A and B are shown apart, each in its own frame.
Chain A
């Protein structure tokens, strides 16, 4: 019977196309989470920054990992929707901004609490009060500058100097979706200065033709290429830029702004991880969290990603330490806010940015 052959092929194609991804090992979350010995992670941290730790965990435990990378906000949204719809949720959520975790926990109770002796060794400022999330690595806001375009003496000392017309069109920042860099910094400014002053400052920046890019990676690359003289960015991006294969784009410098007397200080923030409520592989999730705050993982974050280790006793990477004023995190003049504070302000800050047209 050749006459229906074409249609049969189409039907078979359709069915196979649907079944193969559902049943094979690379399949969807739903199938994966059934058996033990597995761990599903949603990561708002970029893939290259997390991969070394994932490999470490796999080596140590042999657990099969399924990871979805994406923007922290989008993944957070997905987790909430998975919980609402009763679909299988991931076990661990890694956010590039601990504030997001606090926000999710506070508004939706998205996570389950977990403490262990290992976690208890972390400084209190970098874990949630109810044990729903832990900080993983620290970072601070800095100005990245292109050494070919700017002399160090010319550099502003405070972010508020960026409204000077001499920087007109020469500064890159990130947009209102950048929840681990620019947005928490604005939240911190709001908490410190109030909404009115912050808004006025942002408007001045816009008047100065500041260029808003989508992501911090874009900023470091653009400054490295010499498209912009300055960029507002998290500190470790400067060192990542210096690792670029092309030597011509490595010539970037780092400036810790607002460190002088009577200046506000910069923002120190942290990434974070939490166990999602409804996680199927609870044990593996807990092991993974313990690993994240272990000395080994903290060293990896410090050495490979140039972040600040949060576990007391783990040294900051040597290049980072060298350029850090006073050589340690505590020596940095900081805005007096914690990740938990920032989480509460997330929505209001995005609203404010929307109002001033920060896009």
Chain B
């Protein structure tokens, strides 16, 4: 975040809303109102569950949808009006979830589609871009003759060929299998960094979002719930939705007391927003599995009711005397039997808490 404070703002959305008519076949969730600034050369990841309006956000920026209200700026220019600044005039490239490769055109023709000008220059540019994505010599193939990863590269090449100022990636890796996904991600990231593009990546995959962005935004029901650095969002979620959506979360119920919040695991002091605390009686405290330390103790208050093995780590499910359950993440080398009693400790300086029922 600090890197960009003095940078130019590349994309600016102000109170943008985009609603689809609710009748007819497209009764989809609307976007906004959303305000957002993306800086030049920034990599922004937008994370949200399906239907949260991620794709719509990209389409508004690309000019494929016209927002009902608000204002869209690209490099300081007002491009809200799609009629005045149609998609082809924005210098915005987009990679679609299913790649949207033109099935009747060869790889070469697909990549050249967005290029104008002399044939010689065009050819040189296509070759250049194909080499950039590692597809040299594949220009004569048709899309159906390519593997998923290759199709992905063609889609990227096609988007990059006209040298867009902004690149929008709409869940580009979701059709690849897990290994290839990681590999492609770092490759694409490297290419785009090299080109110094401004990039928005939309995804529903947290790992991808964490790994991608300088910053990330969490979108829910068309609104941005939180915008900030990845770590900040994980450790200090602004809303209960963010807390639950990002990483594994348990919520411990507690009551307000003078020092903070009193729970069956003790009293937690509060983060800064104490002012709001006074208004509520019952609170939920965010507990992440990696904060919970456990020690075997026959007199301990919690019982291990289940454990799940996932390679490097084991996730233990613990039942507290009140019946509430929380989880603890432990290295695989540690082996505690189901049904054994444990003592537990929460490593937490400041509690993140939300009023119950919020």
Is A–B contact present in the complex under a CB 8 A cutoff?
A: no
- The chain B residues found within 8 Å of chain A, CB to CB, are none
- The chain A residues found within 8 Å of chain B, CB to CB, are none
